[in-house]
Amino acid sequence: MLAQNSAYQPDPNWRVPQDAAMKPNPLARKPDAAAGGKKLFLRNCTECHGQDGSGLVKKHAADLQLPVVQNQSDGTLFWKITNGNPDRGMPSFSKLPEPQRWQLVLFIRKLKPEN
Amino acid sequence: MRLTYIALFAFSLFASVTLQAQESPYFVTYDHHLEEPGNLEIETSSTVGVPRAGQHWFFAPYLELEYGVTGRWTSELYLEGQSTAGDSTIFTGWRIENRFRPLAREHWINPVLYLEYENINEASRIRKEIVGAAPELNESNAELRATRAHELETRLILSSTAHDWNISENFIVEKNLSENEGFEFGYALAVARPLATLASGKNCRFCRENFIAGVELYGGLGTTQGFGLHDTAHYAAPAISWQISDNTSLRFSPAIGLTHGSSPALLRLGYSYEIRGFSTKLARLFGAKP
């Protein structure tokens, strides 16, 4: 049974430039780096997305387990973490070093339900 | 008396509470990062002034309440005081600051507009910005506190991130609304970088990733009645911040005076605590649905 934030509606205006969407994760061959991503997620993201990423804590926060999120490319997720969507409540996390934002992408992939 | 101030300074090193995540090490320069919407950051900071001959040590603490109003607007309230050796301890005023980020996305150079109203007296010593000509530090607190200043400060903040380096430039203009003395100008420049850019999987207080080191350069550029570097104060200030825990951090900066109009040194210390989801918690306290 998936935790679902039924109130979540993706923002159609939150568009990622194509070159950004195509960026590969430089940490893709370092799966151990996801542990640091989990630490960063718990510190920075759970307030809105919840500990399991389901987004139930704040009604507009994305359910990161959903296919609509998991099917986005690594570059897309990285761009969204970097830029945020300030008019819809998602802050920019450009203050985090670039490798740490890629670590968050690694960890978000681990939120995908196995089934 | 000097020992008293050293003791106060040492006390301020330890008498802090936990605070915010990934705090910038800067004390004067602003970068383009705003407070997350709904979060409240409480910070206690202090400026200790090392005196020249004929001057006195001073200790100027201030309390800062920073709130993320929206994703593009952060507002802060400051309360400040100062204590001068051989003189008195006084409340020097309050300030309200607002920062607006006009562009929604990250860019090569990110502008932020800054507007602050200051209701202070002439005894203020927190040196949150250095503008105009070098200050006179020989008058007593009793004389200085009698002169109130209603000031408006604006800044153009420009900030960039490149290869995990932050590079920030602030251009400062200040106007004393209480006096007909023209505009005062100043600047602040800074660079900083985390000591490690990859997060370890362990919770650790002393990991290099928890430290950000940088350097600031700031000073006055005179007034509309005398623009330039003549008789102005300038400082070079290495700075470091330490994220002690998830929502607390400590930062320190010894600023070295570069001109005859500067104090020989300003020792700055800051300690902050971040309450995440403050607006939601406050709403629940009053029974409202967040």
Taking CB atoms and an 8 Å limit, are A32 and B201 in contact across chains? Answer: yes
For A80-92, the pLDDT digits (tens) are 999 999 888 888 9
Query: Which amino acid type is present at position B76?
Result: E
In a domain, A10, yes or no: no
Taking CB atoms and an 8 Å limit, are B246 and A43 in contact across chains? Answer: yes
In a domain, A9, yes or no: no
In a domain, B68, yes or no: yes
In a domain, B240, yes or no: yes
| CA–CA min distance A96, chain B (Å) | 8
Q: Out of A89, A91, A103, whose CB is closest to B199?
A: A103
Whether the pTM exceeds 0.80: the reply is yes
ipTM for the complex? 0.88
Query: Total domain count for chain B?
Result: 1
Distances, alpha carbon B145 to alpha carbons B148, B175, B179, B262, B266, in Å: 7, 19, 15, 21, 21
Report the SS3 class of residue B144: helix
Place of tokens 């990285």: A78
Query: Total domain count for chain A?
Result: 1
Interface test mutation site (partner A, options B19, B22, B40, max chain A beta carbons within 10 A): B22
In a domain, B210, yes or no: yes
For A10-55, the pLDDT digits (tens) are 788 899 999 999 999 999 999 899 999 999 999 899 888 988 898 8
Taking CB atoms and an 8 Å limit, are A39 and B106 in contact across chains? Answer: no
Domain interval for residue A55: 28-110
Q: Out of B31, B104, B246, whose CB is closest to A86?
A: B104
Q: What is the CATH number of the domain that holds A60?
A: 1.10.760.10
Report the SS3 class of residue A32: helix
In a domain, B206, yes or no: yes
In a domain, A4, yes or no: no
Give average pLDDT by consecutive 10-residue segment, chain B, 290 residues.
47 38 88 93 97 92 97 96 95 98 94 98 94 85 92 98 96 93 95 96 92 98 93 97 94 97 96 91 76
Backbone angles phi, psi at A83, to 5 degrees: -95, -25
The whole-angstrom separation of Cα B142 and Cα B106 is: 48
Q: Say yes or no: A50 contacts chain B, CB-CB below 8 A.
A: no
The predicted structure's pLDDT at residue A59: 58
Task: Give the rounded percent of residues in chain B with a pLDDT score beyond 70.
Answer: 91
Strand partners, B84: B58
Q: Out of A40, A90, A95, whose CB is closest to B199?
A: A40
Distances, alpha carbon B64 to alpha carbons B57, B115, B126, B154, B164, in Å: 23, 16, 12, 18, 27
Neighbour count for residue B175 (Cβ, 10 Å)? 18
Interface test mutation site (partner B, options A40, A43, A58, A81, max chain B beta carbons within 10 A): A43
In a domain, A45, yes or no: yes
Strand partners, B68: B74
Q: What is the CATH number of the domain that holds B226?
A: 2.40.160.40
| CA–CA min distance A18, chain B (Å) | 15
Residue B37: its chain A contacts at CB < 8 A? 86, 89, 91
Interface test mutation site (partner A, options B20, B74, B166, B198, max chain A beta carbons within 10 A): B198
Q: Out of A42, A86, A94, whose CB is closest to B72?
A: A86
In a domain, A15, yes or no: no
For B195-231, the pLDDT digits (tens) are 999 999 988 999 999 999 999 999 999 999 999 999 9
In a domain, A22, yes or no: no
Domain interval for residue B255: 2-285
Instruction: Bin B48: left if φ > 0, else alpha if -120 < ψ < 50, else beta.
Output: beta
The predicted structure's pLDDT at residue B269: 98
